[in-house]
Structure 1
Amino acid sequence: MAELPIRDRAGNALVGFRFVAEEDLARLVEQVAVPASLVVVTHANAVLMMFDSWRKQWELPGGTREPGETMRQAAVRELREETGIHLADLTFVGVAEFDLTKPERRELLALYRIELQVVPRLTLNDEALDFRWWPPSEPVGEDMSPLDAEIARRSLIRRSGCWLS
């Protein structure tokens, strides 16, 4: 694992990672915005990364919560929309804390995980131009989000209730 904070090419920084219970999200939302969810999909010791059409990099599936959605519902919907995977039995992992640019702000993202026994049929779309299975033991390439790669690595570790930095 990399020492935090780590930054991407746009200057966004992953500054913390915390394993919390899903019911603690409501309390966290009162302190810091939690506008989106990410999903770490694993199969055979590899993590599913999608090539994002807008940011032009490999990253985890996920996205912004729509009005009236819970963080879990957003994760399930984004996973379906971006990959074609129709599964709702995601495991809540915790939250990642970011210092973001454009505009400058501090946010938390809700993190979910699912381990697949079989490689799913993945659906290319306007948002996800390609998919790859990335072993977290491999280095992060120039075309991969270092923030998402670090989130994936940390999501595979179990340490209840602590910030990993």
Structure 2
Amino acid sequence: MTSPSSLPYRPCAGAMMINRERRVFVGQRIDNVLEAWQMPQGGIDPGEDARAAAIRELGEETGVAPEHLEFVAEAPEELTYDLPPELIGKVWKGKYRGQRQRWFLFRFTGADSDIDIATPHPEFRAWRWADPADLPEMIVPFKRALYEQILHAFADHLG
């Protein structure tokens, strides 16, 4: 059996989308029974630019069109998280130990009616705007440190 530490990280892009009140879009995953909420994120396709992947993922998961997004900032470094041992082998066909992520902050310039999570391949069953400070408590526990790092990276734009 392959050791989890020998598995690579899945390349991924994440998007923190804030509204005019500097509240953050979070969605409740459709495939998880936990009450956890998360920001949009997803894999980077081979040859795809990380920021382009973040914008694509926002569209795929929230229905938000690129014209309703204003780029604000990119986290200065790649962030990683490890899956808990019980999920390795069950997620991503067992190919990865976790994710390495490039995070981007976008200002949402549209109206709430421009958000539609009933996309062709829905990932969220519900969504809402959340206070940034509440994010670490809303996410699944194994991603808590990651969300604290994201908040730190974008602190100058959230206050």
1:136 and 2:132 aligned: yes
Q: Which moved more, 1:51-60 or 1:72-81?
A: 51-60
Amino acid at match of 1:128: F
Amino acid at match of 2:116: T
Structure 1 gaps of 5+ residues are 1-31, 159-165
* TM-score, with structure 1 as normaliser: 0.62
1:18 is aligned to: none
1:73 is aligned to: 52
Deviation at 1:63, TM superposition (A): 0.4
Q: How many percent identity over aligned positions?
A: 21
| 1:1-165 matches, cutoff 5 A | 33=9, 35-43=11-19, 44-56=21-33, 57-87=36-66, 89-90=70-71, 91-94=73-76, 95-101=78-84, 102-103=88-89, 105=97, 107-120=99-112, 121-125=114-118, 126-138=122-134, 140-141=136-137, 144-146=139-141, 147=143, 149-158=147-156
Distance across 2 between alignment mates of 1:150 and 1:60 = 13
More helix by share: 2
Is the partner of 2:100 in helix, strand or coil? strand
Deviation at 1:105, TM superposition (A): 2.8
Question: After superposition, what is the alpha-carbon deviation per residue over 1:25-50, rounded to whole angstroms, capped at 9, x for unaligned?
Answer: xxxxxxx7461111001121211101
Q: 1:77 to 1:62 in 2, by over 3 A?
A: same
Distance across 2 between alignment mates of 1:144 and 1:34 = 19
Is the partner of 1:82 in helix, strand or coil? helix
Q: How many equivalent pairs are there?
A: 126
More strand by share: 1
Structure 2 gaps of 5+ residues are 1-7, 90-95
Question: After superposition, what is the alpha-carbon deviation per residue over 1:89-128, rounded to whole angstroms, capped at 9, x for unaligned?
Answer: 4332232122334057364201011123454421123211
